[in-house]
Amino acid sequence: MPLFYILLRTGQNGVGEWWELVTTARTARLAGTSFALAVVVTAGCLLLGVGSAYLVTRTDVPFRRAFAVLAALPLAVPSYVAAYTWVSVADLWSSTARFEGFWPAVAVLILYTYPYVYLPVAAAFAGADAAQEEVARSLGRGTWRTLATVTLPQVRPAIAGGGLLAILYILSDFGAVSILRVDTFTRAIFTAFSAGFDRATALSLSTVLVLLTVLVLLLEGRTRRRGARYESGGASHGTNVVGLGRGRWWAAGGLAAVAVLALGVPALSMVRWMTAGTSRADSWGQLLGAAAGSLTVSLAGALLTMVLALPIGILAARHPGRLSALTERAAYVAHSLPGVVVGLSLVFLGVTVLLPLYQTTWLLAFAYATLFLPLGVAAVSGAAAQAPPALEEVGTSLGRSPAQVFRTVTLPLTLPGIGAGAALVFLTCMKELPATLMLRPTGLDTLATELWQATSYQRYAEAAPYAFLLVLLAAVPTWALVRRSGVVGGAPPAKQARTLKEELLTHD
Amino acid sequence: MTDVEINHVGKFFGTLRALSGVDLSMRSGEFLAVLGPSGCGKTTLLRCVAGFEQIDEGRIALGGRLVALPGVHVPPHRRHVAVVPQEGALFPHLDVAGNVAYGLGRGRRDRAARVEQCLELVGLGGYGRRMPHELSGGQRQRVAVARALAPRPPLVLLDEPFSALDAALRSELRRDVRRALREDGATAILVTHDQAEALSMADRVAVMNGGRIRQVGTPAEVYRHPADVWVAGFVGEAVIVPLDGEAPGGRHTSPLGPLTLRDDDRPWDGPMAAVVRPEQVLMTHRRTPQAGRGVPAVVRRVDYHGHDTLVAFELADGTEAMSRMVDGPLVDYRPGDRVFVLVDGAVAAVPVGETVTRPVPSPR
């Protein structure tokens, strides 16, 4: 719906005017930056993600279990928190050096986006059928030839999926690029909006961004059709482990370096600023206020999202086919809509159509629902699959009425999954930044907005407690994701591997 | 007393005819198997009886009570028909005792006793506290059977309950389930595509194909006197030999040598064929006095099964046929061997026409 609204508004302004706004040198520069950033970062993510996934699942690298968890953890650091900690660490170093611009942004985004590739690829490596590799070896292929000709093609869908997630994430990222002062579409849209409500420019830029994401989606759709994977039936037995010899310590060193950079820097920075914290008493009160604000809007968002997700999810689970396929596609599209664009469109919607709702928590909740509905739908349909119709049929055949069967069979089986989905939506809402900035009622502060404001005035000490709380909160769904991916512990059941992608979609 | 009465039942999925003119009636305590290839409509029939699907034609009565007419539909929970689904479908959040007790009313005093009794019946006494995921596949099916039996339903429906199990487990479970059903006096319908399962377990077998019932009879009737060529080929292996003769009964000549037809009262209308079962075909290396009238043949293929051997051979005129023999020191045939074959005993005759084997896709 927000997408529709943007198109409508752009159409009202006239195509000619839109074309004029879009074909400026500035737009070209923005497009160039956004595109270059997306390409460079995605390449880096693929390299880092696939490499570390291979190391922790298929080699005898030391401490592989610990590294398997560590490699996924950067996902728990929201990009703007990451950017803030890096900038502020640079500040500790020397007050003149500025950590900002294109290449710092590339470094930060790679470090915190590569888990989008790492998690699905590691899950695919762990779940891939070892028998195919054994056949390749028995036909005379060496370790590296087997890897290149059998194993990598096996996990290619996971690599493509992870790469898509990464590229969409980078295109829609707002927090990190803003803090690191890189001019991309998202930042320009927000600036146009906040500096004088320049609707025409903001809208036109949004359409270009949407076009860019649709282009990426179309390209991915083409590779996906060819990327079909033949899965041999039956349970795959364990995976083969490659001995790295002395190289294993180098590999461990590399993994450790990534972990130190991605996790150590934020930790160091937060600890330094927390201890150097200024005006304690005041910040405590503010912190509590922001936490309360976060709780309120996230609760509203989670509630609305789950109410909308319940019927769609159950329908998707019970009547698979075109609808469920459509839902999966919608998940991509909804995710590819950057929070900035959704926020913007709802601002205009609020001003023009839903004036009574404008500046209320509910409009913000609606934005959250638009952004995170796929997450809720995935949770609900996954939960509904826990109670297949066959169970309900048996229940009624034993003489219990449909209402009784629902209470004694369906509800106990689906409630945990739906609850977990609601918790995930709740935590994701808490971390959301751009839509919150645009739509929050005046006077309402959340952890994310307070952090953003503090960093925009370079008051890093003030920002530290918010950042700390946010990372703590974000760690919860991340841990759930890592557990479900099957990278730690046994191989994942086939069904969960699919929902992993859907969960990753809305996890940022 | 008639327990199950199914009259002219028809069912459509969109424009697809899944069932047409199905007629079946069962006595109380009887065990009926519905046998047919996948997609023949047998599971649809079961789901119509259970009340999971509504019928479009005909009527279904259970225990003298009408439960289904076109437009009239008694919901499943009022039918007192318990179902044992293909994969067991145990409630994963309840333990074994909880599963078995599910269909028992909450107020019943003998609840715990009945649960234990049902578990004993399926050979799982003392397993009440286990959770479904702690059980093996066979044990899960046993619990599913106990759960269905617990409320003493007048009718139990078993939907291919053994198909997911391995062969050794399957035959043991078949025996135990049959005994449990019998001891509890339950009327039961078993749906299966496995002819050995249907023939060995059931009192009567209904053979289905293309949404129609082709034949109903005792296992021996269905095997020895198949209603038509299709049933003859589906239930067991058969060599179909066209007959030229006009008269029923008596002796006929065939490429396999002289054939004696069984005396049965089947009307002789149109072209007929003889159904020769492989175990009726005797095979020898030499023309012995006993097999003096043997026809020469060449061995083409030998399938050794341990307890018996199936030998495929070719006659002088190119006709292919099979012989099955119990294993023993004399059974030593290789492809290419020249042998003599002879049909021993009377064979069944079936009409050749009316072989409507229209495939109907399975609803699930």
Q: What is the pLDDT, as a whole number, of residue A220?
A: 66
Using alpha carbons, list the distances in angstroms from residue A61 to A68, A145, A247.
11, 20, 9
Instruction: Say which residues have a Cβ less than 8 Å from residue B2's Cβ, sequence separation at least 6.
Output: B25, B26, B27, B28, B64
pLDDT of residue A9: 61
Domain that holds residue B65: 2-224
Is residue B118 located within the same domain as residue B32? Answer: yes
Mean pLDDT of A374-383: 76
Residue B356 lies in a domain: no
Question: Looking at the domain assignment, is residue B230 inside a domain?
Answer: no
The CATH number that applies at residue B178 is: 3.40.50.300
**Is residue B138 a part of any domain in this protein?**
yes
- Give residue A292's pLDDT: 81
Rounded CA-CA distance A475/A122 in Å is 19
Q: B244 and B195 in one domain?
A: no
Give per-residue pLDDT as tens, A79-118: 778 887 777 777 666 656 667 777 878 888 888 888 888 8
Element (H, E) at B128: none
The two three-digit tokens of residue B348, written as one number: 């069944």
- Alpha carbon of residue A94 to chain centroid: 33
- Domain boundary among the residues B198, B224, B250 is at B224
Here the tokens at position A212 are 């860019």
**Of the listed ranges A360-369, A377-386, B121-130, the one predicted with least confidence:** A377-386
Q: Report the percentage of chain B scoring pLDDT > 70.
A: 90
Would you say the C-alpha torsion B230, B236, B240, B243 has a positive or negative sign?
negative
* Furthest CA-CA distance within chain A: 78
pLDDT of residue B138: 86
Q: Which residues contact A291 (CB under 8 A, 6 or more apart)?
A: A447, A469
| The pLDDT of residue B361 | 40
Q: What is the Cα–Cα distance from B46 to B37, expressed in whole angstroms?
A: 15
Whether residues B174 and B79 fall in one domain: yes
Mean pLDDT, chain A, as a whole number?
73
Mean pLDDT score, A280-285? 60
| pLDDT single digits (tens) B1-55 | 568 999 999 999 888 889 998 999 999 889 999 999 988 889 999 999 998 888 9
Residue B223 in this model has a pLDDT that exceeds 70 = yes
Average pLDDT over residues B329-337: 84
What domains sit in chain A, N to C, each tagged with a CATH number? 2-224+249-505 (1.10.3720.10)
Residue B83 in domain: yes
Cα(A487)–Cα(A97) distance, integer angstroms: 40
* Contact across the interface for B103 and A408, Cβ inside 8 Å: no
**pLDDT tens digits, residue range A438-494?**
777 777 778 788 777 777 776 767 777 777 777 877 777 777 767 666 555 443 333
Q: Is residue A263 pLDDT above 50, yes or no?
A: yes
- Residue B305, chain A, CB below 8 Å: the answer is no
d(C-alpha B64, C-alpha B55), whole Å: 18
Same domain, B51 and B135: yes
- The reply to whether B8 and B125 lie within a common domain is yes
Closest-approach residue (CA) in chain A for B144? A394
Q: What is the arrangement of strands in the sheet containing B251-252, beginning at the earlier edge strand?
A: B239-243, B272-276, B346-351, B259-261, B251-252
Q: Please report where in the chains the tokens 């066209």 appear, as a residue.
A: B242
Return d(Cα B161, Cα B94) in angstroms, integer.
20
| Three-point CA angle A199, A343, A203, nearest 5° | 30
Q: Amino acid identity of B259?
A: L
Do B211 and B254 fall into the same domain?
A: no
Please tell me whether residues B212 and B290 are part of one structural domain. no
Burial of A487 (0-12, 13-18, 19+ CB in 10 A): buried
The 3 state secondary structure assigned to A119-171 is: HHHHHHHHHCCHHHHHHHHHCCCCHHHHHHHHHHHHHHHHHHHHHHHHHHHHH
Which helix (H) or strand (E) segment holds residue A503: the answer is helix A494-505
Is B266 in the same domain as B195?
no
Q: Which of B106, B120, B122 is nearest to A398 (CA)?
A: B106
Domain closes at, from B199, B224, B249? B224
Exposed e or buried b per residue across A171-199, where buried means at least 16 C-beta atoms within 10 angstroms of its C-beta: bbbbbbbbbbbbbbbbbbbbbbbeeeeeb
H helices present in chain B, as ranges: 42-50, 96-101, 111-121, 137-149, 167-184, 195-201, 219-224, 229-234
Is B88 part of a structural domain of the chain?
yes
Q: How many CB atoms lie within 10 A of CB B257?
A: 16
Which of A386, A393, A398 is most worth mutating to test chain B (most B CB atoms within 10 A of its CB)?
A: A398
Residue B229 domain flag = no
Contact yes or no for A120/A162 (Cβ under 8 A): yes
CA dist B231 and B227 (Å) reads 6
Q: Which ipTM value was assigned to this complex?
A: 0.73
Q: Which of B77, B92, B151 faces A396 most closely, judged by CB atoms?
A: B77
How close A348 comes to chain B (CA, Å)? 47
Query: Best interface-test mutation with B: which of A318, A392, A394, A401 has the largest number of B CBs within 10 A?
Result: A394
For chain B, what is the domain count?
2
CATH code, domain carrying B268? 2.40.50.140
Distance CA B235, CA A263 (A): 69
* pLDDT tens column, A397-410: 888 888 888 888 88
The alpha-carbon gap from B90 to the nearest alpha carbon of chain A, in Å, equals 7
Place of tokens 């649960």: B115
Interchain CB contact of B107 with A (< 8 Å): no
Domain membership flag for residue B183: yes
Question: What residue spans of A386-446 are helical by DSSP H?
Answer: 389-397, 402-405, 411-431, 434-439
Same domain, B170 and B268: no
| Distance (Å, whole) CA A128 – CA A144 | 17
- Burial profile A23-62: b = 16 or more Cβ within 10 angstroms, e = fewer: eeeebeebbebbeebbebbbebbbebbbbbbbbbbbbebe
Q: How far is B300 from chain A (nearest CA, A)?
A: 34
Sequence-distant (6+) residues with CB within 8 A of A197 are none
Neighbour order of strands in the sheet with B187-192: B81-84, B155-159, B187-192, B31-35, B204-209, B212-217
In this prediction, residue A5 carries a pLDDT of 62
Q: Pick the residue with more confidence: A222 or B123?
A: B123
Which residue did the predictor score with more confidence, A419 or A24?
Answer: A419
How many Cβ atoms are within 10 Å of B100's Cβ, its own excluded? 31
Collect all residues of chain B within an 8 Å Cβ-Cβ radius of residue A397. Answer: 50-51, 76-77, 79, 81-83, 148, 157
Q: Do A393 and B87 touch (CB under 8 A)?
A: no
Question: Do B219 and B244 belong to one domain?
Answer: no
The answer on B53 and B124 residing in a single domain is: yes
Question: Is the pLDDT reported for residue A387 higher than 80?
Answer: no
Q: Name the domain boundary from B162, B195, B224.
A: B224
pLDDT digits 0-9 by tens, A107-146: 888 888 888 888 878 877 777 766 777 777 777 677 777 7
What is residue A491's predicted lDDT score, i.e. its pLDDT?
37
Tell whether B70 and B218 lie within a shared domain: yes
Please, are residues A360 and B61 in contact by the beta-carbon 8 Å criterion? no
Q: Would you place residue A207 in the very low, low, confident or very high pLDDT band (cuts 50, 70, 90)?
A: confident
Residue A227 has a pLDDT of: 45
B268 within some domain = yes
